[in-house]
Structure 1
Amino acid sequence: MFTNDTLKGRTALVTGGGSGIGLEIATAYARLGASVMIVGRNEERLQAAAEGLAREGGPVQTRKCDVRNYDEVKQAVEATVGRFGSLDILVNSAAGNFVCPTSELSPNGWRTVIDIDLNGTFYGCHAAYPHLKASTHGGSIISIITMLGVTGWPGAAHAASAKGGILSLSRTLAVEWGGDGIRVNTISPGPIGDTEGVRRMYIEAGKGDLEAQKTALGRFGRKEDIANAAVYLASDLGNYVTGENLIVDGGRWLKYVAN
């Protein structure tokens, strides 16, 4: 869909880039000419991901990093700039979640998800800011959320609150940092069939057909659908888009509201 030089000359840092949607975005970026740093907590997974990314032709680096630790996030940002000379794109894809009724949710469980999703996103934005401001292409921040952070998410109040907070943070930064040439957007994926989460929660539990029918299109999405959205927002194609929540969910949230 995109020309091979769509992201040529840009450097991207992708948190949670060792697997799932984060890895798919990193792969698309590398394929389209970007230099990519992927970070995560699992070093073996990062190395396996890096081997695949190297085959796409773009320069790739990995770094073990826990986004709950600001110092580690800042070091990852500085390592990216040190290796590639700049930072133009930040993708906040690292996330944690588990299903639990709110009445049974422990303070530690709440804190863990808030730390990974919301605090980790803030840490990334904060540490990357001076480098994104200095980008010759204009900086771009993209955070992966969900419309369940807007409508509410029974059984996952911690994740819903974190994702809702990321949306508000992103729109705040879009205004605060717009004058610095930094665009800040979010993407809300729907059920993505080729992810571990959907396979585990829906398909293997025998709920795949039911969940697919909850979308207006009647089917699951693919990781590629989210990666395409992330390319658009990071590139010159989305140069006048900021503060936007790009919903890529097959119309699930609209059907939910309509019903």
Structure 2
Amino acid sequence: MAAALFRGRAASLVAGRKNVFSALQLTRPQSNFFAPVEDVMLPSGSFNNKVAFITGGGTGLGRAMTTTLSQLGAQCVIASRKLDVLQQTAEEIGKETGNKVHAVQCDVRDPQAVSKCVDQIEALAGLPDVIINNAAGNFISPSERLSPNGWKTITDIVLNGTAFVTLELGKRLIQKQKGASFLAITTIYAESGSGFVVPSASAKAGVEALYKSLAAEWGRYGQRFNIIQPGPIKTKGAFSRLDPTGAFEKSMKHRIPTGRLGTKGEIANLAAYMSSDFATWMSGAVIRLDGGEYVFISGEFNNLISVTPDQWKAMEAMIRNTKGS
């Protein structure tokens, strides 16, 4: 009798939690406390007389970071495979900020193309003071359906591409005795791993190991290496491959304690700070900017946030009446 009553109460609690979960999917009122501020954070002129190189700079986060650095005075060079997109972005940002933005075509998967790209950067603006490795690729797939080509496509862009760009530029900077700030954009699951995006998780984890290693080894040459792990930020390219139906976005906010997705401007401000002279003592750092998502999904009991006060009363009564160990 007692066992049946316990099961009945438990089922009721589960049903109640599902209803609360559905409601929280639709409205996350705490987001009112955490409204984003996307104005440029650093003082005007913080990047005057500096050159910034951003891979994947034509769209999404790359474009946002380029815009912010250009607004702060940097002469920016953006690179990706699609030259037409790059040229349009460079022209638009240049008009907006009044600072020159150069577009250089580059397939980061090809070390020879990377070497030619760096030749162009040197000819256009000189070796950069700021390097942001942002170029990436990703798609969702059950690992049992993953092909060798699918694995290679992502790891070539993310891990090999970052390594080719970093090593090519790093060696030239060392030769010229010039310091620089390197920044890599990874993801929170580089730390935890994640099913269904295994090539990306593996490659991003490799990028983090690369940057931590070089922070230790190449600091003596005036180079520093840092990492940003963004949480979910809606960009057209990423969400079209990772959330094609839109269903994931609807449930995503439930597991973000601040109740909202991040914005491109927030990442751009953090990237600018970490790449600036205000952060010269920062190297080997991994900064997570995710609204608390990582700590929420990591805690075994954090889903109890959806239990109502009345349900807690019922559970507390059940717990107090439990006998034995």
- What amino acid maps onto 1:69 in structure 2? D
Matched, 1:74 2:120: no
Alignment-derived partner of residue 263 in structure 2: 222
Say which SS state the counterpart of residue 53 (structure 1) adopts. Answer: helix
Distance 2:221 2:74 in 1: 22
Tell me which of 89, 99, 124 is aligned to 2:130: 89
Tell me which of 77, 82, 86 is aligned to 1:42: 82
Shift of 1:85: 2.4
User: What's the TM-score once normalised by structure 2's chain length?
Assistant: 0.76
Tell me which of 162, 165, 172 is aligned to 2:206: 165
Decide whether the 8 Å contact of 2:56 with 2:134 is kept in 1: yes
Decide whether the 8 Å contact of 1:15 with 1:94 is kept in 2: yes
* Identical-pair percentage: 35
Matched, 1:151 2:192: yes
Q: Are residues 135 and 238 of structure 1, via their aligned partners in 2, closer, same or farther at CA, if it must alter by over 3 Å?
A: farther
Distance 1:186 1:132 in 2: 20
Decide whether the 8 Å contact of 2:212 with 2:226 is kept in 1: yes
User: What's the TM-score once normalised by structure 1's chain length?
Assistant: 0.95
5+ residue gaps, structure 1, are none
Q: What is the CA RMSD across the aligned residues, in angstroms?
A: 1.6
Tell me which of 221, 232, 245 is aligned to 1:180: 221
Q: Alpha-carbon deviations, 1:127-170, whole Å to 9, x = none?
A: 1113444475x311001100111111110110000000000000
Decide whether the 8 Å contact of 1:191 with 1:198 is kept in 2: no
Equivalent residue runs for 1:1-259 within 5 Å: 1-55=41-95, 56-133=97-174, 134=176, 138-198=179-239, 201-202=242-243, 205-258=246-299, 259=302
- What amino acid maps onto 2:52 in structure 1? A
Q: Alpha-carbon deviations, 1:200-229, whole Å to 9, x = none?
A: 644952332310121121100100111111
Q: Are residues 135 and 28 of structure 1, via their aligned partners in 2, closer, same or farther at CA, if it must alter by over 3 Å?
A: farther
Structure with the bigger percentage of helix: 2
Q: Alpha-carbon deviations, 1:212-259, whole Å to 9, x = none?
A: 121121100100111111101110111100001111111111111124
Q: Alpha-carbon deviations, 1:21-80, whole Å to 9, x = none?
A: 011111111110011110001122111111111121222111111000011112112211
- How many aligned positions are there? 258
- What amino acid maps onto 1:119 in structure 2? N
Distance 2:173 2:262 in 1: 31
Distance 1:171 1:215 in 2: 27
